[in-house]
Structure 1
Amino acid sequence: MPDALVELLGVAHSYRTRGGAVPALGPLDLRVDPGEFVVVVGPSGSGKSTFLRVVTGFERPSEGEVRLLGRPPVPGRDVGIVFQQPRLFPWRTVAGNVDTALKWAGVPRADRPQRTLELLGQVGLAELGPRRTWEISGGQQQRVAIARALAARPRLLLMDEPFAALDALTRERLQEDVRSLTAGGSQGVVFVTHSVDEAVFLASRIVVLTDRPGRIALDLPVPLPREGVSADELRGSAEYAALRGEVAAAVRSTVLEPS
């Protein structure tokens, strides 16, 4: 078995408030291996974003241990991150935003223009390098954010509901792009969403979290083909519909009844 990209061992996290500790996550155990596309799905308040923060090291768990590439996580190291909002530098061009990420990644200055073109080509923006970020659409901005996250060739890509603010058509197109970009490689992806449809379309494995505190209610391999099948064929298949129903039922069952 290959070395894990991410391991969570008995991880739990609570937030301190004036009224006492508020449990947000766990305890849970989870392993993500190279090449996996793990989608974490659950209702609002299930600890999905907390999960990402402890994986990246932005939060230290109250209990348990997190290992990222075999060691404790350090914020900003070893992973690429795509947030809900693109968080681009508006004073830089599209290409300038990617160039900045390459600079932070230690890529030599002479190599950065070609690598920038390659990254923008990967996300379908090869012709838009000279444009300012405020001159392009929201979906294109998120493509720039993905290119920037890939700049350091991270072994692990973390995505925190990156398409939540986009219209339905743009969202579907970006789902297809991300699915193609990550198919067949050794890079691992952890993608957080509240959309069951998005989870089934993207994932090689789905993890459903319960209502707060988030625990694993379902850990489900997704045997759908990731290459050689069109998006429409995949979404229209009986297997897709069955998986979508199973995951939706698991998400509904995790929501606690009002006390």
Structure 2
Amino acid sequence: MPSVPDTAPGARPPAPSEPAHVAVHNVIHTYGGAAGVPALGPLTLRIPDGGFLVLVGPSGCGKSTLLRLIAGFEQPTDGTITVAGQPPRPGRQAGVVFQQPRLFPWRTVRGNVESALRYAGVPRAEHRDRAEALLQRVGLAQTGDRRTWEISGGQQQRVAIARALAVDTPLLLLDEPFAALDSLTRERLQEDLRQVTAGTGTTVVLVTHSVDEAVFLASRTVVLSARPGRIVLDLPIDLPRAGRDPDELRGLPEYAACRKRIGHAVRAAAAQPTT
């Protein structure tokens, strides 16, 4: 039987009557056809406008699969997904950032961002100014003329985020974007991501294996079970972030409590047999 989603006392995920930017309803996904490997579901999930949802769970639980389904890169075996009330359309409704930056090495930093602007139909005359503004937004001002192989891995991931933000969509999907980075760069980019998306109304869905990253970034964390992935914990994260630096935030008792609860759910999910 599917586990019942757990929520924090006094808090809850969006009610069915509340508007959702992303709505996942009774989704099941199987690789290899009906008799193949069950990867996900049944799963129902609503993500409101401006929410920052982080998906965590054991390896192979369907986190990245769910992200690809929301992006429209794959179609669910059963159930429905809508983004802003419409079926997902790849490249049109969401900016996507992967674990590897996937930049064009023959283009400059600015050229990589301009390629996304061109795909989005932005007039050519606006490309340079828009690209420079996006690079400044992710902390890469004055790097536009450099080649991607001339900058660090952390800077390359910033370019990938700027490129995702180049498409004027209210949804940003990130699949373990910081996993390959050192811990210091990772923490710095986590803070930058919060600042870039805060107050813009952007709806964010991020996949990670890091419990600390989930607590630090999320307004809500969902833990998936072992394959096929189902929701075993749906936890709103309501931390007093205003005016606190990252070290102070991580030192709060509320932070430690959320981290403990999510970590326990992930370990319990990893101990479950897959089907």
Range class of TM-score, shorter chain: over 0.9
The AA in structure 1 aligned to 2:21 is L
Secondary structure in 1 matching 2:184: helix
Contact 2:61 2:228 (8 Å CA) reproduced = yes
SS in 2 for 1:125: coil
Residue in 2 aligned with 1:52?
67
**CA RMSD of the aligned region, Å?**
1.5
Preserved CA contact (<8 Å) 1:208 1:217: yes
Q: CA deviation at 1:82?
A: 0.2
The answer on 1:163 being equivalent to 2:178 is yes
- C-alpha change, 1:257 and 1:203, in structure 2 (3 Å) is closer
Map of 1:255 onto structure 2 = 270
CA contact (8 A) 1:183 1:226 kept: no
**Residues 140 and 66 of structure 1, relative CA distance in 2, 3 Å threshold:** same
**Residue 77 (1) aligns with residue 92 (2):** yes
Task: Map 1:14-33; keep pairs closer than 5 Å.
Answer: 14-16=30-32, 20-33=35-48
Match in the other structure for 1:99: 114
| CA distance in structure 2 between the aligned counterparts of 1:24 and 1:42, rounded to whole angstroms | 13
Equivalent AA in structure 2 for residue 75 of structure 1: P
SS in 2 for 1:106: coil
Q: Is the 8 A contact 2:60 2:226 kept in 1?
A: yes
- CA drift of 1:226 comes to 3.9
Alpha-carbon offset, residue 184 of structure 1: 2.2
> In the alignment, which of 173, 187, 201 is matched to residue 186 of structure 1?
201
SS in 1 for 2:36: strand
**CA apart distance, 1:227:** 3.5
Pairwise CA distance, 1:258: 5.5
CA distance in 2, matches of 1:60, 1:125: 36
Please give the alpha-carbon distance, in whole angstroms, between the structure 2 residues aligned to 1:249 and 1:52.
Answer: 23
Q: Letter of the 1:6 partner, please give it.
A: V
- 1:12 is matched with 28
Corresponding residue of 1:219: 234
Q: Structure 1: any 5+ residue segments left out of the alignment? A: none
Q: 1:111 matched to which residue of 2? A: 126
CA drift at 1:109: 1.3
Q: Return the match for 1:198 from 205, 209, 213.
A: 213
Structure 2 vs 1, CA of residues 155 and 4 (structure 1 numbering), >3 Å: closer, same or farther? Answer: same
Equivalent residue letter for 2:127: R
Work out whether residues 183 and 227 of structure 1, in 8 Å CA contact, stay in contact via their aligned partners in 2. no
For structure 2, the residue ranges without an aligned partner over 5 or more in a row are 1-16
Residues 57-86 of structure 1, C-alpha deviations (whole Å, 9 max, x = no match): 111111111111101112111100000000
Deviation at 1:153, TM superposition (A): 2.2
Residues 223/258 of structure 1: CA separation in 2 closer, same or farther (3 Å cut): closer
Whole-angstrom CA distance in 1 between matches of 2:214 and 2:224: 13
* Counterpart-to-counterpart distance in 1, 2:179 and 2:191: 15
Preserved CA contact (<8 Å) 1:209 1:216? yes
Q: CA deviation at 1:257?
A: 4.5
What TM-score comes out, normalization by structure 1 length? 0.96
Distance 2:218 2:41 in 1: 22
SS at match of 2:106: coil
Distance 1:238 1:56, change over 3 A: same
Normalised by the size of structure 2, how large is the TM-score? Answer: 0.90
In the alignment, the residues of structure 2 paired with residue 52 and residue 257 of structure 1 have an alpha-carbon distance, to the nearest angstrom, of 22
Q: Which amino acid aligns with 2:154?
A: G
Q: Deviations 1:149-188 (Å, cap 9, x if unpaired)?
A: 0002210000000000111111000001001111122110
Letter in 2 for 1:4: A
